[in-house]
Structure 1
C-alpha cells in the first residue's frame, strides 16, 4: 500500500546554498538524502520504506551582501576563531541560506492499526525531523506532520492532490524538466554538430542579449528568451562516475573503509519552479532514487525494479 507523508513548512537555517556550479537552492540530492535518513529509522520500527520526495519552497533567503555599486554580491561567511599561532583556521565554509519548505514523501509498505498507527507515525516523524540535518542546515521548526493513504482511483487521487497542493500555497514546486534540455541540445546540434551539452545547458542558465542594428539605425540590445517558456532553472540532479569501482580500503583516506569506493562528478539538468495549483498528479512532484545502477541521477521516473538503498549501493557515490 502507498502512503503520502507531508512534512509541512520545515524552517531550516544555514542550509547549503551551493550545488556544484549552481547556487541559490540546495540540490535535490540533499532532500533525497534527508528522506533516506528518515527511511532507515522508520524501516526498523514500522517496516515502511520511503521511495521518493517532492519539494515545495515557501521562502528562501541567501546569506549574501552587496559589496559594491556594480551589483556584485558575495556570500556572508562567519569569522572562525584563530589557531594557537594566531592564524586563520583552514576551514572552507560554503554559501548558506535560510529556507522554509514542505516535503511530500512517497511511502511504501503496510501501516498497522489503521488511523491509530498513522497518528503514532506522525508523532514519531515530528520528533525525528527536528533532530535531522536538511541540506546541512538546522531544522528550527515545522508544522504538524500528516500521513494519509494514497488512493488508487484516479479521481480520488486527483482530489488528494488538489487538496494538498492548495495547502502548499503560497509556494513553488520543483519539477524535473531535463527532457527540455535533451530536446534543446538535439535542436542546437542539428544546426551546429560541434555544439556540446554544456552550451545547451547554459542557454537555460544565462541571461543573454544580442546587438541588433537595423539598416541605417543605431545598435539596440535585444533580450534573447530562454529556449522554452516557464520558470526554468539550472539544477544539479545527481552524480556520474569518473572512475572504476575500487574495492573496500583500496583508496586511502575514505570515510568508510569497509565499502567499495568510486570517484564521481556532479551532473546537471533543468528544473522548473511551478505553482502547486498547477500540479495535477502528486506523482508529478515526487523525485525518486536512480533506476540505473551506473549513474546516480534523480528524476521523476519510477524505477523498473525497486531496490533498497543499502549501504553497499550508497558507497559507490
Structure 2
C-alpha cells in the first residue's frame, strides 16, 4: 500500500520529479528533541494536500499521489553565534506592534532555507496520456508554489525542466536528476544493530539511551609513550554511514475521541487523539548508491509513506511495505 490516502486499489503508474525546489522559512525544529532538517510530515502533508486537489480536478481525478522521495541539496538553518566557543541560537523575527502600540511578544522559532528535489509516486489504474502528463506537470507546479511546505514558502524551482514525468518502468532514470544531493533513508536496521551491540555491554540500556549516544561524540584520552596525552574521538555510528535522529511519527497516549469532542483542534470534523513523538534513525545516502534492484538501497524503497496501526495507535512514516 503506497497511496497517501490509504486506497489499496491503485498501483504506481509513474513518477513526478520536482527539481531543486527552493523553500524559504521552513521549520527546522522537527520534534521536541531534534532540529536541523524539517520533519518528514511537513513534506508528506504538502503532497497529501496536492493529492486532494487532484481528486477535485476533472482531468486528474482518476489518479492520486503516493510515496515521496526526499533529496536534499542544501539546508541552511538560520542560526548565529558570536564566536566558535558559544552555542548557536536561532535567528528570531520581530513581529509588528499590536493595535495598542505595545511590542508583540516573540514566539521562538527555528527556520531554515532548503533546496530539495522530490520524486512522488503517481497512483492510478491506467497510464497517463501525453496530454494528461503535460497537464499534470502544469497543474502540480502551480499547486506547489501556492501552498506551504514544511512551514515554509516555495520561492522557485530549477530553471530547466523543473517538473518531469517518468514512467513506472523508468525509475532508474530518476537517479541522475538527484545529483548532487543526499537522499533520506530509513535506518531502523542500523538502529537495531547498534542497540544490540550496546546491550551486550550494558544490558539495562534503553533505546532512548542508544539514540542519544549515537548523537554524541566521545573524547577519550590516551597516554603516549613520551607521556603526552592524545585525545581520540569516537562515535557509536562509526561504520554505519551518515546517521541522524529523526521523528518517524506519533504514538497515541489517550483514547480516540469522537469528532467534535476535543476542543480547539484544527479539524473538529475528524476524530482526535493525544499523541507523542516517536524517534528513530535516518541515514543520508548519496543517490549513486541507489538503484540496485532488490538490494537494501533499491530506489523503490526510498519513498516515505504513511502507515497506521490501529491496534497500537501508531501513526508512522516508513519506507517499509509492512509494519
What is the TM-score normalised by the length of structure 1? 0.86
Conservation of the 8 A alpha-carbon contact between 1:290 and 1:298: yes
Cα deviation, residue 125, structure 1: 0.7
- Residue 146 of structure 2 aligns to a residue in which SS? coil
Q: 1:279 aligns with which of 278, 290, 300?
A: 290
- Residue 180 of structure 2 aligns to a residue in which SS? coil
Post-superposition CA distance 1:23-80 (Å, at most 9, x none): 1111111111111111111123222121210011112211111134514211111111
- Residue 48 of structure 2 aligns to a residue in which SS? helix
Q: How does 1:164-313 map to 2 (within 5 A)?
A: 164-213=174-223, 217-227=227-237, 228-280=239-291, 281-293=298-310, 294-303=313-322
Conservation of the 8 A alpha-carbon contact between 2:18 and 2:118: yes
Cα deviation, residue 84, structure 1: 4.3
Cα deviation, residue 283, structure 1: 1.1
**Structure 2 CA distance for partners of 1:110 and 1:116, relative to 1, 3 Å:** farther
Aligned to 2:150: 135
Q: Does structure 1 residue 125 correspond to structure 2 residue 140? A: yes
**Stretch deviating more after TM superposition (66-75 or 283-292):** 66-75
Q: Does structure 1 residue 53 correspond to structure 2 residue 68? A: yes
Number of residue pairs the alignment of both structures matches:
296
Q: Distance in 2 between matches of 1:217 and 1:196?
A: 38
The alignment yields a C-alpha RMSD, in angstroms, of 2.1
Cα deviation, residue 202, structure 1: 1.5
Cα deviation, residue 11, structure 1: 0.7
Aligned to 2:50: 38
Q: How does 1:130-169 map to 2 (within 5 A)?
A: 130-143=145-158, 144-151=162-169, 157=170, 160-161=171-172, 163-169=173-179
Q: Does structure 1 residue 62 correspond to structure 2 residue 77? A: yes
Post-superposition CA distance 1:183-209 (Å, at most 9, x none): 211222233221011111112212221
**Stretch deviating more after TM superposition (290-299 or 18-27):** 290-299
Aligned to 2:87: 72
Q: How does 1:1-40 map to 2 (within 5 A)?
A: 1-2=11-12, 3-20=14-31, 21-40=33-52
Q: Distance in 2 between matches of 1:10 and 1:23?
A: 21
What is the TM-score normalised by the length of structure 2? 0.85
